[in-house]
Amino acid sequence: MSMLERVLASMPALPPAEQRVAKLLLADPRSFATLPVTELAARSNVSKPTVVRFCRSVGYDGLADFKLKLAGTVNEGVPFVHRAVDEDDKPNDLIVKVIDNAVAAMLKYRNNAAGHAFELAIDALTRAGQAGKRIEFYGVGNSGIVAQDAQHKFFRLGVNAVACSDGHVQVMSATMLGPGDCAVVISNSGRSRDLLDAADIARRKGATVIVISASGSPLAKLAQTGHQVLLAADHPEDYDRYSPMVSRLLHLTIIDILTTGVALRLGPALRPMLQEIKRNLRAKRYALPE
């Protein structure tokens, strides 16, 4: 049953005010997916909280979750470009649609992220950093860019961090890992053969493997064996049809959470070094503030 069919079937059980919201949705689902809550409430002649209650009454977490899934139902976007836009969109339309799509995905991830999994990942990374063990980030293609960003963030913490985006180097590097080391494997699809091979080797060598990928993917399933950690990054973006946007933002956000968590665990002794790094970087600027 599609979203619209589910809403239609649920209408008789809804309160009268929420039925008005449902009628607005069924009359023009494409507009409903893009209009702000204030406009939706005005057009339905209800309050803004009523719009949110309607979304929850029909089985969704709230308005952001409902609109995110509705957009995927009523709008296929422009294949290989972006799922939330249309061919004839003007720049102002692109600004709203692209940002709203990203914000909705971020809010959904914020509500669904597994705090326990982050706790395990931060613990493992902190122990590796404190013991002088290796922390390696593996990714290919667009995920390789995220791996480089992760290295850039982590090496400033004074830990042994390396990013690898070449499949052969990943295999060699994973082979040299051991207990206490960490391999952070980043993949949108979770199906890259190179990353699956590297993750499996790192796991067999006794390293902690932290996977950032879609739940249900082969890479995610590998992370659910032994003492590995899965940081699931689920989103509505079809990796076969669209250039990565939301997935990369989610992956970068996950890396930022991990970096922040490890920095806090390493404690105040780390901060003078970070301050000195900033001071030395300021000296590299051509024009210093007066």
Q: Which of 54-63, 105-114, 235-244 has the highest mean pLDDT?
A: 54-63
pLDDT at res. 176 = 97
pLDDT at res. 71 = 74
Q: How many residues does the chain have?
A: 290
Q: What is the mean pLDDT of residues 158-180?
A: 96
pLDDT at res. 75 = 60
For the cut 90, the answer to whether the pLDDT of residue 46 exceeds it is: yes
Query: Could you tell me if 83 and 72 are in contact, meaning their C-beta atoms sit under 8 angstroms apart?
Result: yes
Cα-based angle 225, 125, 121 (whole degrees, multiple of 5): 45
Mean confidence (pLDDT) of the chain: 87
Q: What is the mean pLDDT of residues 157-171?
A: 95
78 phi and psi angles, rounded to 5 deg:
-110, 110
Q: How confident is the model at residue 239 (pLDDT cuts 50, 70, 90)?
A: low
pLDDT at res. 136 = 97
CA distances from residue 229 to 120, 185, 212, 232 in whole angstroms, order as listed: 7, 10, 9, 9
- Please give the structure tokens belonging to residue 73: 């139902």
- Taking alpha carbons only, the member of 71, 81, 202, 48 closest to residue 137 is 202
Of the candidate ranges 24-33, 82-91, 154-163, 260-269, the one whose mean pLDDT is the lowest = 82-91
For the cut 90, the answer to whether the pLDDT of residue 236 exceeds it is: no
Domains present along the chain, CATH in parentheses: 3-112 (1.10.10.10), 115-270 (3.40.50.10490)
pTM over 0.85: no
Q: Which residue has the higher pLDDT, 98 or 125?
A: 125
